[in-house]
Amino acid sequence: MSKLVLTEEETMLADMARGFLDGAAPLGKLRKMRDDGQRGDPALWKQMAEMGWAGVLVPEDAGGSDMGFTAANVIAQEMGKTLAVSPFISTAVMAATALRQVSDARAKQALARIASGEVTYALAVDEGVKHDPDATQMAARSDGNGFRLSGKKTFVVDGALADRLLVLARTADGLTLFDIPADRSGITRTASNMIDDRDAARIDFDDVEATGEDVLGQVDHAMDVLRPALQAGQAALAAEMTGLAAGAFGMTVGYLKERKQFGTEIGRFQALQHRAAHLWSETEVTASAILNAGRVLDETPGDATLAVSLAKARATATATLAVQEGVQMHGGIGMTDAYDMGFYMKRARVAAEWLGDYSYHAERVAALRGF
């Protein structure tokens, strides 16, 4: 059984990431981006690529560092602490994982472009209000040796700024995944006004041409490629949410040590100590679930469904608890935009919905456990 503690190398990676993000992407940067109407940070992504983060899951022979899923989760967790804005999960985790399932020259070239930071991806899967790939209705009708894509996708995270799209569509006998440029004729992207001030879009496909070369994997067998990518993304997002919870907890504890009532720091009040201790305990247990998900993805990826869904469900619950307790223990100031706790709450709300909410993953856990 894998140890649920970071190795020395993973600890060094976390420390390195923490030092970089504290300087390059502090929480205050998100506030400035929001005020400036900026949804992405290309300069930060370029720096991340130079550090090897864009290629964390890209094989070395394609120019990546190939550090593995646990390492990707370590990086994502540190990003969550300062709410760093980047296409890391969409591009370096999900797109890279999908492309790794295909062993051809085109996929290898695409992986190399991801590792270099040259190209970013968005995953265009969902069409309704909830995550449900199996319910895909967008049509990919046969047209000669290729296809024509028609339909719409909602809540495409990183979709307004991405260079390429991984699009899930329904073909004659199943689902097929396409890798196409985001500016192809017939594609209309409409930026969504997200509460966490991140890039997301609604995308319409109007008779969009897709050739056989655009198919990623096999026609009618999209999930062979997409399922590992989704699981990798869900685990990384859970890691980010755990980092978010830790960041909110740290901010809250700092406030408890400074704010005084009746001449005494409120952190000395036993009731608040109990609430803080409970939140810390929940965060630590969830961090173990995240680490386990990364270990399983690295060692036995075919068995990862339970570990990943458990991690995402726990991370959603823990992040929600962290931001709610943070706002309440900050009192009145916690409800104002003048204080940064609100940024954690907004990001937690969006992340809870992306790639499956608590109910979606709790149901999967229950089913796999025989309930």
- Cα distances (angstroms) measured from residue 65 to each of 52, 56, 217: 6, 5, 24
Instruction: Look at residue 2 in the predicted model and tell me its pLDDT.
Output: 55
214: tokens are 């655009």
Whether the pLDDT of residue 335 is over 90: the answer is no
Rounded (10°) CA dihedral 356, 17, 13, 281: -60
Q: Based on the fold, state whether residues 326 and 351 are members of the same structural domain.
A: yes
* CB within 8 Å of 326: residues ≥ 6 apart: 248, 249, 251, 252, 334, 341, 344, 345
Q: Based on the fold, state whether residues 253 and 348 are members of the same structural domain.
A: yes
Whether the pLDDT of residue 305 is over 50: the answer is yes
Q: Based on the fold, state whether residues 283 and 157 are members of the same structural domain.
A: no
Q: Based on the fold, state whether residues 230 and 286 are members of the same structural domain.
A: yes
Q: Based on the fold, state whether residues 96 and 230 are members of the same structural domain.
A: no
CB burial string 282-299: b at 16+ within 10 A, e below = bbeebbebbbbbbbbbbe
Q: Based on the fold, state whether residues 105 and 133 are members of the same structural domain.
A: no
Instruction: Look at residue 3 in the predicted model and tell me its pLDDT.
Output: 63
**Where do runs of H (alpha helix) occur along the chain?**
8-24, 27-36, 42-50, 69-82, 96-100, 105-115, 223-258, 270-299, 304-330, 341-353, 358-368
Look at 277 and 335; give whichever has higher pLDDT. Answer: 277
Q: Based on the fold, state whether residues 99 and 146 are members of the same structural domain.
A: no
Last residue in a domain, options 214, 231, 260: 214
CATH of the domain at 20: 1.10.540.10
Residue 1: pLDDT band with limits 50, 70, 90 = very low
- Cα distances (angstroms) measured from residue 195 to each of 174, 327, 339, 344, 358: 35, 17, 16, 11, 19
* Residue range 296-304: mean pLDDT, rounded: 97
- How do strand 121-124 and strand 164-171 relate by DSSP bridges? parallel
Q: Based on the fold, state whether residues 43 and 142 are members of the same structural domain.
A: no
Whether residue 3 is contained in a domain is answered as no
Q: Based on the fold, state whether residues 185 and 206 are members of the same structural domain.
A: yes
Indicate yes or no: pTM above 0.85: yes
Give yes or no for a contact between 283 and 246, defined as CB atoms under 8 angstroms apart.
yes
Apex 347 CA angle, 346 and 352, nearest 5: 105
* Residue range 334-341: mean pLDDT, rounded: 87
Last residue in a domain, options 119, 141, 165: 119
Q: Give the position of tokens 């020395």.
A: 8
Whether residue 346 is contained in a domain is answered as yes
Whether residue 272 is contained in a domain is answered as yes
| Sign of the torsion angle spanned by Cα atoms 356, 358, 364, 368 | positive
| Sign of the torsion angle spanned by Cα atoms 32, 47, 80, 241 | positive
Q: Over the stretch 102-121, which tens digit does the pLDDT of each residue have?
A: 999 999 999 999 999 999 99
Whether residue 241 is contained in a domain is answered as yes
Q: Which domain holds residue 174?
A: 122-214
Q: Based on the fold, state whether residues 28 and 79 are members of the same structural domain.
A: yes
Q: Based on the fold, state whether residues 159 and 184 are members of the same structural domain.
A: yes
Query: What does the alpha-carbon distance between residue 189 and residue 192 come to, in Å, rounded to a whole number?
Result: 9
Whether residue 2 is contained in a domain is answered as no
Whether residue 1 is contained in a domain is answered as no
CATH of the domain at 209: 2.40.110.10
Query: What does the alpha-carbon distance between residue 9 and residue 187 come to, in Å, rounded to a whole number?
Result: 43
* Residue range 271-296: mean pLDDT, rounded: 96
Q: Based on the fold, state whether residues 147 and 249 are members of the same structural domain.
A: no
Last residue in a domain, options 119, 141, 173: 119
- Residue 120: φ, ψ to 5°: -120, 155
Whether residue 99 is contained in a domain is answered as yes
Total domain count, the chain? 3
Residue 332: pLDDT band with limits 50, 70, 90 = confident
Whether residue 108 is contained in a domain is answered as yes
CATH of the domain at 230: 1.20.140.10
